[in-house]
A and B are shown apart, each in its own frame.
Chain A
């Protein structure tokens, strides 16, 4: 039984939440009936990102067909696919003047294409209305189906992100119907089949009980398949029913992991407690393009 109390929140979790700015963002998005992963996952950076006009869109929601124990997105019966959603994401990107947009989705194991077509349509619509905006997708594992991956690859997103979430030993404890090896396979396939202009990215959470050796093994596994970008951030337990937080990982370890990851050859690494896979995502492209 897991009865231990959660450790006390550290000072770096202190954020200001400016409701006025959040209201402004919501107003800007009002009428578009869009979900942001920022609000759905109750992201700690929401105040900052909304304040600076940045948002990440979550399509095919609001309900997810999986129930991963770390996640705050509602699990439930999926809704019919909204055919106008790609257009509305593109319109929101335009209204917000985003130079880089992140599109993610809930898992849609109920759909024959597992949601791949909606990603393609969304990428195409964003590009039609915002030709200069770079596009990052953060996809589910599509159960490892290559035909689904092929569709999204063919739409040529600038960044193809799929999160490993955690090290091998903890994966079955926190992920639902997703495996470490399927996620590695997805990243490998994308790297092998996507154009050279598409960067491949993944992210992990710390504080779930992982060891240094396991994190380094994960880095080695990722570099063996030539993954370009890695994000490392602190897991924050969304509620009492979620996977219990084991540790607020000290800042020093984030710095060590950063150095170790760079040493292994990742082209861009973000390693800090409040890093989320889409947080300041455009900075990684600016870093590799040398802008």
Chain B
């Protein structure tokens, strides 16, 4: 089953973030708790973890993109278990 990954809320004060770097590549296996990508908020670089087990299918944003909370960031093909 394909699951969508949306930009989580990473700062209590802001909903717009600069997309940092992808840690996982398309086709790579991901586990719950693995760091998927980094996002630059005002004060920190937030590392966002996967909530799913599966394979990263598609990256929908790239380094430097401005993203908003709730934006579609990636899709993960979730493993059946």
Instruction: Name the B residues within 8 Å of A15 (CB-CB).
Output: 44-47
A288 neighbours in B (Cβ, 8 Å):
none
Cα separation A131 to B12 with both chains bound (whole Å): 32
Q: Does A78 contact B (CB under 8 A)?
A: no
Instruction: From A11, A16, A39, A236, give the contact of B43 (CB < 8 A).
Output: A236
**Number of contacts between A and B (CB, 8 Å)?**
50
- A244 CA to B70 CA in the complex, in Å? 30
Q: Bits for A1-15, please: 1 = Cβ < 8 Å to B, else 0.
A: 000000001010111
**Does B8 contact A19, Cβ atoms closer than 8 Å?**
yes
Residue of A nearest to B11 (CB): A42
Point out the residues of chain A lying under 8 angstroms from B48, CB to CB.
16-17
Residue of A nearest to B43 (CB): A236
Q: How far is the CA of A43 from the CA of B11 in the complex (A)?
A: 9
Tell whether, in the assembled complex, residue A238 and residue B47 are in contact, meaning their CB atoms are under 8 Å apart: no
Chain B, Cβ-Cβ closest to A11: B45
Q: Is B49 an interface residue (CB 8 A)?
A: yes
One of A9, A22, A39 near B13 (C-beta < 8 A): A39
Best-buried of B9, B13, B14, B38 by chain A (most CB within 10 Å): B13
Bound CA span A13–B40, Å: 10
With A and B bound together, what is the CA distance between A72 and B43 in angstroms? 10
A103: shortest Cβ distance to chain B, in Å? 19
Of residues 23 to 71 in B, which have CB atoms within 8 Å of A's CB atoms?
35, 38, 40-49
Q: Is A46 positioned at the interface, with any CB of B under 8 Å from its CB?
A: yes
Size of interface on B: residues with Cβ below 8 Å to A? 19
| Interface bracket on A | 10 to 19
**Closest beta carbon of chain B to A242's beta carbon, Å:** 10
Chain A residues closer than 8 Å to B44, beta-carbon distance: 9, 13-15, 17, 44, 236
| Bound CA span A72–B42, Å | 11
B74 at the interface (CB under 8 A from A): no
Tell me, yes or no, whether A239 is within 8 Å of chain B by CB: yes
B-contacting residues, A24-39, CB 8 Å: 39
What distance in Å separates the Cβ of A279 from its nearest Cβ neighbour in chain B? 14
29 contacts between A and B (CB under 8 A): A11-B45, A13-B43, A13-B44, A14-B44, A14-B45, A14-B47, A15-B44, A15-B46, A15-B47, A16-B35, A16-B46, A16-B47, A17-B11, A17-B44, A17-B48, A19-B8, A22-B12, A42-B11, A42-B12, A42-B14, A42-B41, A42-B42, A42-B43, A44-B44, A46-B12, A72-B13, A236-B44, A238-B43, A239-B42
Q: Kindly list the 9 A-B residue pairs having the minimum CB-CB distance in the complex, ordered from nearest.
A: A39-B12, A44-B44, A14-B45, A236-B43, A17-B46, A17-B10, A42-B13, A16-B47, A13-B44
Binding site for A on B (CB under 8 A): 8-14, 35, 38, 40-49
